[in-house]
Amino acid sequence: MEQLLNDIIANLLLKHDSIIYFFLFLSSVVENLFPPIPGDTVTIFGAFLVGTGRLDFIPVYLSTTIGSAVGFMLLIFVGRLLMREFFIKKDYKFFSAKMIVKAESWFQRYGYLVVLANRFLPGVRSVISLTAGIARLDLSKVFLLSLVSSAVWNLLWILVGFFLGNNWEMVREGAAHILKQYNIGAFIVIGVLIICFIGYRIIKKRINV
């Protein structure tokens, strides 16, 4: 995947700027549908081109941010269209029936907050959008919150890509290191929060007995 991405980027450098903007938008859409696609790397590539003076900041920022929100909403529509019965019947490994039932009730209470934070939660973005669709959260609120989430996340990564330098390999390696450290930290924080939440529920249950 990494070599393919490098080949695509090398080929893009030979194209007209408008094609590069469209690619940034399209990759931001597709990364939500197919999580293995490294969309953040593509966003950083756009920031790198801003730093070299090849592209303008505003079009890069808008194309990646709107693309991210559109991709998120597409999976929302998939969840609303197929509905919970489809996923419960299929009982996918990555999206099991048990997970759906738990997530659905949780989303009724905290769904909009989770949507707002979705860009900052590694590895579960697709699950969040599908569950939000199944839970039938308000589309206008979901779109606005996903747009805000993408706007903040992409701004951070565009600034990272802009300030890391004018050598693409150095920018790519530096950004990959930062993203790896962030993901590790995020998983630790999420794990601690889950443990605290479980502990709270256990203590509360024992007190009420």
pLDDT digits (tens, 9 = 90+) for 23-61: 889 988 888 777 666 667 778 888 888 888 888 889 999
With pLDDT > 70 as the criterion, what percentage of the chain qualifies?
Answer: 78
pLDDT score of 143: 93
pLDDT score of 4: 63
Interhelix angle 139-163/57-90, rounded to 10 degrees, is 130
Does an H or E element contain 22, and which?
helix 17-33
Structural domains of the chain, count = 1
State which residues form the domain around 20.
2-208
pLDDT score of 43: 80
Q: Give the chain's mean pLDDT.
A: 79
pLDDT score of 69: 92
